[in-house]
Amino acid sequence: MSAALPTRLRRSDRDRTMVTPEGIALPLTLASRGSRFGALALDLMFIGLLMILTTIALISIAGGTAALSDPSQHGPQIMHALEFLAVIWIAMMFLFRNAYFLFFELGPRGATPGKRITGVRIAARDGGRLTAEMVIARNLLRDIELFLPLVFIMSASDGGDSGAAGMAALAWFLIFAFFPFFNKDRLRAGDIIAGTWVVEAPKRKLEAAMSAQARVGAAASEAAVKYRFGDAELSVYGEYELQTLERVLRENRPDALRQVYEAICKKIGWTLGGGDEYAFLDAFYTQLRARLEAGMRMGKRKADKFAGNG
Amino acid sequence: MATLPEVSAIEQAALRSDRFRLAREGDWKRLEAIVSRIEKGQLRRLSDEDVLALPVLYRTVASSLSIARETSLDSATLAYLESLTQRAWFQVYGPRQSLWTWLGRFLGGGWSAAVRAMSLDVAVALAVMVAGVAVGWLLVASDPEWYFSLVPGQFADARVPGASREVLQGTLFGNDGKDPMSAFAAYLFSNNAQVSILAFALGFAFGIPSLMLLVQNTATMGAMLWLYNGQGLLIDFAGWLAVHGTTELFAILLAGAAGLHIGRAMAFPGDKSLLQATAEAGRRASLVMAGVVLMLVVAAILEAFARQLIDNTAGRFTVGGFMLVFWLAYFFAFRGRNDGAASP
């Protein structure tokens, strides 16, 4: 398919393609393991913080209740109040542990706060709708992947008995922790069960059109007259080089402009003085793009400078 | 006046692909604004116009992307369109089902359909639990020392082999004076829910650990049944257990069956690919698990309140029996609105 031609510069082994119901192939980038680990660490920190704050708040409420009332008169009532607080505490701990991930991943961003910060989100692997069942399934598995062995390791090291049981828990933990390293889509056990994966959630700003920027106008047409490239000179480069040139122009760094300028001059055999690199490169870019796009409309594409002029 | 410079910018653009882009970027930016607001959770503050425009704009941008891919070499624009189409796609085809609609469909047939879809696993898990009880009973009957390894310390306070009939009877009756133990109920729920999540999650290892967990838990019950039987209190103990046990054991049974269902899909994926079969089973099982948590809430309330309030065996059997009939009818007789909603 011609859509397989590069639409971005760097391709990595994390690129996947998802086909929407409209039949448009959308590129997805799987989240890196580092960003997923970062997201998890952040989320655990948030959960821990929430738990500590809730506990402190409830303890201070309990302390206040006990201090305010006279135990000889309101004995049973105090007990009821304290018991009620205990119920709230247990329920909150259960919810923080199990519902935190569910709540956020079911939201419109499909990501917990940690995932938002690291710029990743979850998506259905088959390109379909992300359903509530998927989110539930992937997060229930978290229990054996993470919480169970962690609690086990902690209780083992707590009692000074860090022997066979601790080692077993550690091995268990490591097997699940390294799960994403042993399959090509970087799925953890919960993703396999749920049919989900974690992808990067890109957010790009629309940049100005190269050939219609404000500074273009009189100056550009002047440059276009000054630098007019022939067919032979433009035909040495392809789409890959065009994209590199576009990036260099957008970044607009003098030393990079200079290097590219010299490389192009050498390649096409022009000898010019310095000082006007940007106008030269802009003119070259516009004319190269016009040529390549005209070719595209005729069904001819040139991927890079090594490809023939088909 | 405001449109004038825009028109001239379009005309000024040297390249045909840039003119294409400048003519359409108003729609793109509008879609971006709508999607950004939805992502921030401001769906309700969107105007009706914008909500209606979302799918239309999504298709416009998607078609812009297809055209741009064939005609434009502006990689910044292509990357922008790809990212925007993807973001809009997540919103248009995202989980746009509110929690309440999901809950309504879940209770109105989705849950029971998922349970029926794994009836084979439920039958296997039931057989394993019955076997677990029998094993516990037989082990303790052959050597009472087994009792201490089967029954965890928290239950083995007064309830040990050799305890007198009066002591054992005291553990079953005579608590009606006490206050209902709501904190205890919350603790029981949290603990049991964690155990059943474990039973489900262990299904990942081909379901075998799920079954082992079931055997281990029911063997404890078998050992205690043997203990009370020795003093002629079997029926009373069964009644004491039945109040919440019919709900709680049913929930644990379903959790084990859900784990087994995943394990079975992984071991025998059939015609589908392994990942696909596992994902389908996982979704069905997670539906069952959401229900299991609900059942455990009911069980904990029954255990902490109903058992204290009803201090006779006949009454306890009535409550327990009613709950059992209720769950069975709900899962296997109630067909609901959407049959086969297990994988929507």
Give the residue from chain B lying closest to A288, CA to CA: B73
Name the band, by pLDDT with cuts 50, 70 and 90, for residue A158: low
A194 vs B12, B21, B282: nearest CB = B282
At A56 the pLDDT is: 92
Using the Cβ of B25 and the Cβ atoms of chain A, whether some distance falls under 8 Å is answered with yes
pLDDT in tens, A167-193: 777 777 888 888 888 888 888 888 888
CB A219 within 8 A of CB A276: no
Cβ-based neighbours of B57, under 8 Å, separated by 6 or more: B27, B30, B31, B34, B88
CA B321 to mean position of chain CA atoms: 25
Question: Smallest CA–CA separation between B215 and chain A, in Å?
Answer: 19
Using the Cβ of B153 and the Cβ atoms of chain A, whether some distance falls under 8 Å is answered with no
* Residue-wise burial string across B262-273, b where 16 or more C-beta atoms lie within 10 A, e elsewhere: bbbbbeebeeee
Name the band, by pLDDT with cuts 50, 70 and 90, for residue A159: low
For residue A30, the 8-state DSSP code is B
Q: Do B90 and A133 lie within an 8 Å CB cutoff?
A: no
H, E, C per residue of chain B? CCHHHHHHHHHHCCCHHHHHHHHHHHHHHHHHHHHHHHHCCCHHHCCHHHHHHHHHHHHHHHHHHHHHHHHCCCHHHHHHHHHHHHHHHHHHCCCCCCHHHHHHHHHHHHHHHHHHHCHHHHHHHHHHHHHHHHHHHHHHHHCCCHHHHHCCCCCCCCCCCCCCHHHHHHHHCCCCCCCCCHHHHHHHHHHHHHHHHHHHHHHHCCCHHHHHHHHHHHHHHHHHHHHHHHCCCHHHHHHHHHHHHHHHHHHHHHHHHHHHHHHHHHHCCCCCCHHHHHHHHHHHHHHHHHHHHHHHHHHHHHHHHHHHHCCCHHHHHHHHHHHHHHHHHHHHHCCCCCCCCCCC
Give the residue from chain A lying closest to B101, CA to CA: A132
B201 vs A9, A141, A293: nearest CB = A141
At A47 the pLDDT is: 92
Q: Rounded to an integer, what distance in angstroms lies between the CA atom of residue A295 and that of residue A299? A: 6
Question: Smallest CA–CA separation between B343 and chain A, in Å?
Answer: 8
Least confident of A4-18, A228-242, B228-242, B269-283: A4-18
Give the residue from chain B lying closest to A128, CA to CA: B93
Mutate to test the interface with B, among A15, A142, A206, A228 (most CBs of B within 10 A): A206
Residue B243 falls in which region: left (phi positive, over 0), alpha (psi -120 to 50) or beta: alpha
CB B205 within 8 A of CB B140: no
> To 5 degrees, how large is the angle CA B139–CA B141–CA B145?
70
Q: Rounded to an integer, what distance in angstroms lies between the CA atom of residue A46 and that of residue A278? A: 48
* Residue-wise burial string across A165-197, b where 16 or more C-beta atoms lie within 10 A, e elsewhere: ebeebeebbeebeebbeeeeebbbbbbbbbbbb
Q: Rounded to an integer, what distance in angstroms lies between the CA atom of residue B313 and that of residue B244? A: 13
Strand, coil or helix: A5: coil
More confident residue, A175 or A209: A175
CA nearest A176: which of A200, A163, A192?
A192
At B94 the pLDDT is: 66
Q: Rounded to an integer, what distance in angstroms lies between the CA atom of residue A64 and that of residue A56? A: 12
At A220 the pLDDT is: 54
A211 vs B14, B97, B197: nearest CB = B14
Residue with tokens 């998607």: B62
pLDDT in tens, B64-104: 888 888 777 777 888 888 888 888 888 887 665 656 677 78
Average pLDDT for A280-291: 81
B59 vs A22, A210, A224: nearest CB = A22
> To 5 degrees, how large is the angle CA A141–CA A147–CA A158?
155
Name the band, by pLDDT with cuts 50, 70 and 90, for residue A6: very low
At A54 the pLDDT is: 92
CB B77 within 8 A of CB A206: yes
Residue B143 falls in which region: left (phi positive, over 0), alpha (psi -120 to 50) or beta: beta
Q: Tell me which residues of chain B have a pLDDT lower than 70.
A: 1-14, 94-100, 153-160, 162, 171, 174-185, 336-344
At B1 the pLDDT is: 40
Q: Which residues pair with A18 in a beta bridge?
A: A26
Global pTM value? 0.73
User: Which 190-209 residues of chain B touch chain A by CB within 8 A?
Assistant: 190, 193-194, 197-198, 200-202, 204
At A1 the pLDDT is: 33
Q: Rounded to an integer, what distance in angstroms lies between the CA atom of residue B242 and that of residue B318? A: 9
Residue with tokens 């109920």: B185
pLDDT in tens, A106-155: 877 788 899 988 888 888 887 777 888 888 888 888 877 777 777 777 66
State the virtual CA torsion across B315, B321, B325, B328 in degrees, nearest 10.
Answer: 140
